Each structure stands twice: as C-alpha cells, then as structure tokens.
Amino acid sequence: MASDNALPSPVQLIRPRRFGDARGWFTEVYSVPAFAASGIECTFVQDNHSLSAPAFTLRGLHFQTPPRGQDKLVRCIRGRIYDVAVDVRRGSPTYGQWVGAELSAENGHQLFIPIGFAHGFVTLEPDCEVTYKCSDTYAPSSDGGIRWDSVGIDWPIPAGATPELSDKDKVQLTLAEFDSPFDYDGRPLTPLA
C-alpha cells in the first residue's frame, strides 16, 4: 500500500491471502473496494483465458492503443509463468524499463498492468493456463505490440532454448522503432514490492 503522500506504483504485484484447512483453501482474487484502496480503480469488462502447451511459450509484448487501451489483471491458474510489464509511456522517466514476477497456480500472485505498459509472459513449464481481466474489450484496430527481445528483459529461458512465438510476435516493431501513443501520468515505474 502507498502512503498518503505518494501515488501508488502503476504496476502492482498482488498477493491475495489464502485461507486454508483440511479441505484446501479459499482466496478472494478481486474485490472493487480492496483494489480501490491500492489505487486500482478501473472497471473490468472482459476476461481472457489462454493455454500454452509447450514450456517456454512466449506471448508478448502486447497492448491496445488509445482510445481502447486496456488495464489488465493477470494470474496463472495452472503451471508457472514469468510475467512482465514494460513502460511505454512517452515522457516517462522510466520509459523502456520493465518489471517482472513469477506467477503460479501455487503462489496465487497476480500482476496489475495499467494502460501505457506493454505486457508479456513466458511459460516456465508445459500446459500453463493464464487468465486475465481487461478494462476494455478486444479491439483489432487498436491491437499493438513491441518485440519481446528489444527491451533487454532477462527472460528466464535456458541457454540454447528458443521460445515458442506466434507469427505476429516474430515481426513486431522493436522498442526503438515504436512511436508511443501513451502519455506519462506522473507515476514512474517502481520495483515490485
């Protein structure tokens, strides 16, 4: 949580509490009041669910441009992924910088990625399932991305392994070629807490 004088970090790692007993566990993964208390006040209107069969499948780095930008709340419900957000807001002092975290079915962590950040992940084992909430519906005319290997992300891919990529992700613009339509909102990217 941010102090009263500081704006919350734009990208946030969320660790929902789990309440367990002999039957298993229960967790609240999304609550409007709890998220608002952390500075997350978007309205989610679409849920997505992906399955990536091979280990080291890499999806990203994706975003939707204005006026159809998407805030995302990402979680892994089967397997493990390394999830990344890259600051692509023009004028940001942290433009091109990134943060990442391991999300897994076991740890239950989630990553909130606001508009103005490119998002991607790599699967760390076979048969990973990822769900994410979005604050706008899919708009093909606003679909965008940058190349996964143009930002200097330290992807946890073993030496000699080649990630599985979609045809679209193989030909995205590099960060250097990208002309960002996103504006800086005064909140620099900070390390994940």
Nearest to 85 by CA among 5, 182, 162, 3: 182
**What's the confidence (pLDDT) of residue 26?**
95
The residues carrying an active-site annotation are 62, 132
- Summarize pLDDT for 92-140 with one digit per residue, the tens: 999 999 999 999 999 999 999 999 999 999 999 999 999 999 999 999 9
In percent, the amount of the chain with pLDDT more than 90 equals 94
- The domain covering 12-183 belongs, at the CATH homologous superfamily level, to Jelly Rolls (2.60.120.10)
| Mean of all residue pLDDT scores within the chain | 95
Helix (H, G, I), strand (E, B) or coil at 117: strand
Q: Domain map of the chain by residue range?
A: 12-183
**What's the confidence (pLDDT) of residue 3?**
40
Residues 6+ apart with CB under 8 A from 129: 49, 50, 51, 52, 76, 77, 78, 79
Residue 4 has pLDDT above 60, yes or no: no
